Structure 1
Amino acid sequence: DLDARGRVLMPAFVDCHTHACWAGDRLDEWDLKRQGATYLEILASGGGIMSTVRAVRNADDESLVRDLVARLDLMLAHGTCTVEVKSGYGLSTRDELRMLRAIEAAALEFPGTVVPTALLGHAIDPEQPDFVERTIRETLPAVSEAFPGITIDAYCEQGAWSFEQTCRLFDDAIDRGHPIRVHTDQFHALGMVEHAIERRFLSVDHLEATTRFGALGASDVTGVMLPCSGFHVDGRYGNGRALIDAGGRLCIATNLNPGSAPCASMPMAIALATRHLGISAWEAIVACTTNAAALLGFEDRGRIREGCRADLILLRDTDERELAYSFGHNPVDAVICGGVVR
């Protein structure tokens, strides 16, 4: 039995943007950043995403599953019951499929819900001069056959997938019946937000470099902001206030990954969002419950209502604003996932 008298009982978190399946670590990269190297400089030198790609390719399937389950359990302990997990560290047909199957296998060991996304356009493999062509011609069809209808994602940024390359991948994916999400405007605004609105993507994610939110706010495309990345990488954050004021739907997520956001805690993301995105505690909570559930296609979670899945969290506190106000600890006292106290 739980004694919840006087304390906050609220919907469990929905983390709608993570890269929680990986191998290895990026501790050496962290040291380089402390010496002044930028994220894009490390990526251009063959580090960053590519160092994790090499680790994933060298890892066995069992370790990929085991490590992902451990991260999912950590997220659950911090109140997250529904998690989106991307592939993207394979950069080959074989290894992207391995990652997606590892995500499927880990989901079977998690009491909550895992939503896989095929991040086929992440980095550009410098050892494959025809990498983009092979991804579109070989990897996308193979993923489409093995995982019909899975959401396809790409990272559109200088030094990664160009605007034109990203559009080609997405055009083929749309023709095959796949929904689309896109990482965009992290460092540079390349026009992908406008294209996403025109093509009716599910979401545009990052948005640190976005300055005009009117069209996005008037569209059905969700804006996903990732404050843990700003905290860890360069102190730059998206303007959540502008998106909400423009009428848009905002989600926040941890972006859990080994390079730019080694954080599994949605309460930490909320604390950062209220300090740097210009939003209130209540807006941040909605952004990682109701709005995030809607983005992932769920109407039965992210809220407390008759008929909804019983994914709930009991806080140690009497006021939900403590999620935004205090940080550096786990404010979640108990997690009820699928009606079972975990």
Structure 2
Amino acid sequence: MSIRYLINARLVTLAGGEGPLRGSDMQDLGVIERGWVRIDGSTIAEVGEGIPDELEEGTVLDLGGRLVLPAWVDCHTHACWAGSRLDEFEAGLRGVEYLEILKQGGGIMSTVRAVREATDEQLAEMLNARLGRMVTFGTTAMEVKTGYGLSTPDELKMLRAIHAASRSQDVMILGTFLGAHAKDPDVPDYVDRTIQETLPAVVEEFPGICCDAYCEEGAWSVEETTRLFSAAMELGCPIRVHTDQFNSLGMTRRAVEMGARSVDHLEAITPEDITLLGDSSTIGVILPASGFSLDQRYAPGRELIDAGAAIAIATNYNPGSAPSPSMPMTISLACRRAGLLPSEAITAATRNAASVLGIESSHGRIEAGLQADMQIFDCHDERELGWSFGNPPPPLIICRGEVIQFLGDAELDGQEDSE
């Protein structure tokens, strides 16, 4: 069903200005208490306060003061995978240490083996199912990383599956090259091979793709990551990095100096790097579902925002440390465990997340000229989104001006066709 007007809504627009919001500005949601939106095809044509002077022909939803937000933007996921990590999950509950699981061939390499055995079509089918779950929770733009192939043909296989999924979905899906997710223990020259062989092959088929790396003890070092990023930037790729998850190795500073779009995780970020990030254009992406799942360690979101940083949040949806597609749960965790206010968490999950992905001109705000991706909640105060958890998904989701989710028990007054 195409929607022409949303009227009588509490609009959280996040409109105005350019780029991500940072520091105290992250609390400015651009709320219109009694607002309306006119949609022209797939685009937001006009946003106003009160009642439109004239209603053009089309479907009108009178929302009775209900809450309308931009659809979520999930800027950090590993949603393309094969296989299962359920045995490892249960082993961990029985007290088996993670290092022992790794020695037994578990962890990331078990997923790598499963991805290598899967076909492009199988990967795309599994990814599509997970994307559907993400959409159910209100996400209409998402990033999906590689990193479970760890070889040139298998990293390309993952990217082709991501590309195939993007062609079959109405939502926006952006692939990221994460060949530096780990090191294949069976390939002694894995770092050189990734930089000299895999990266050029990926860029040839997917020019301009974002390049990511996991910089941590036992994974890629600061020097190795810097080499990869230097090569990627020469090939025209923007860069992002997983950094400071368990140890602060100096990669956050290096990434800021190199102009990275984002630094992600940040559970172990130092006070000095918090200040540095607050003075930079790099966005900090916090992933509270990982701390909830792994070790109850969370990025210092409050300190980062108070230092003036621009912060985004994401699910980190993956089979090992964050098996959740839910942005609402992520928002609740960001408030309860990383110190964000609900307004800041909403900004982090919409406008700022869109800036991480370079899609701020089309997503993350309710503003004329942007894509008509919105979600309607059966409540009247956006603070409920940080306060509550475990609630049903939003009853109504609009993507490109079309209703893609309307739950059977949703009661939205005033649905009518204007003539």
TM-score, with structure 2 as normaliser = 0.80
Q: In the alignment, is residue 224 of structure 1 matched against residue 285 of structure 2?
A: yes
Aligned residue pair count:
342
Shift of 1:132: 1.2
SS in 2 for 1:255: coil
Contact 1:44 1:159 in 2 (8 A): no
Contact 1:69 1:106 in 2 (8 A): yes
Q: 1:65 maps to which residue?
A: 124
RMSD after superposition: 1.3
Whole-angstrom CA distance in 2 between matches of 1:39 and 1:159: 13
Are residues 152 and 274 of structure 1, via their aligned partners in 2, closer, same or farther at CA, if it must alter by over 3 Å? Answer: same
Q: 1:122 aligns with which of 177, 181, 201?
A: 181
Contact 2:141 2:173 in 1 (8 A): yes
Contact 2:136 2:393 in 1 (8 A): no
Contact 1:323 1:331 in 2 (8 A): no
Whole-angstrom CA distance in 2 between matches of 1:144 and 1:68: 22
Q: In the alignment, is residue 253 of structure 1 matched against residue 304 of structure 2?
A: no
SS in 1 for 2:212: strand
Q: 1:206 maps to which residue?
A: 265
**What is the identity percentage for the equivalent residue pairs of Structure 1 and Structure 2?**
58
Contact 1:237 1:276 in 2 (8 A): yes
Q: 2:212 maps to which residue?
A: 153
Deviations 1:160-208, CA, capped at 9 Å, x for gaps:
1122211111111112111100001000001000001111111100000
Whole-angstrom CA distance in 1 between matches of 2:100 and 2:236: 36
- Code of the aligned partner of 1:311: D
Q: 1:310 maps to which residue?
A: 372
Deviating runs (4+, > 6 A) in structure 1? none
Deviates more, 1:137-146 or 1:279-288: 137-146
Contact 1:267 1:330 in 2 (8 A): no
Contact 1:78 1:332 in 2 (8 A): yes
- Code of the aligned partner of 1:328: G
- Code of the aligned partner of 1:236: R
- In structure 2, the gaps of 5 or more residues are 1-58, 405-419
Q: 1:75 aligns with which of 117, 124, 134?
A: 134
- In structure 1, the gaps of 5 or more residues are none
Contact 1:117 1:152 in 2 (8 A): yes
Q: 2:70 maps to which residue?
A: 11
Structure with greater helix percent: 1
Whole-angstrom CA distance in 1 between matches of 2:96 and 2:148: 22
Deviates more, 1:263-272 or 1:308-317: 308-317
Shift of 1:284: 0.2
- Code of the aligned partner of 1:341: V
Q: 1:86 maps to which residue?
A: 145
Deviations 1:108-146, CA, capped at 9 Å, x for gaps:
111110011001100111111111111111101111111
Shift of 1:331: 3.8
Structure with greater strand percent: 2
Q: 1:330 maps to which residue?
A: 392
Deviates more, 1:89-98 or 1:301-310: 301-310
Shift of 1:43: 4.1
- Code of the aligned partner of 2:379: D
Contact 1:316 1:331 in 2 (8 A): no
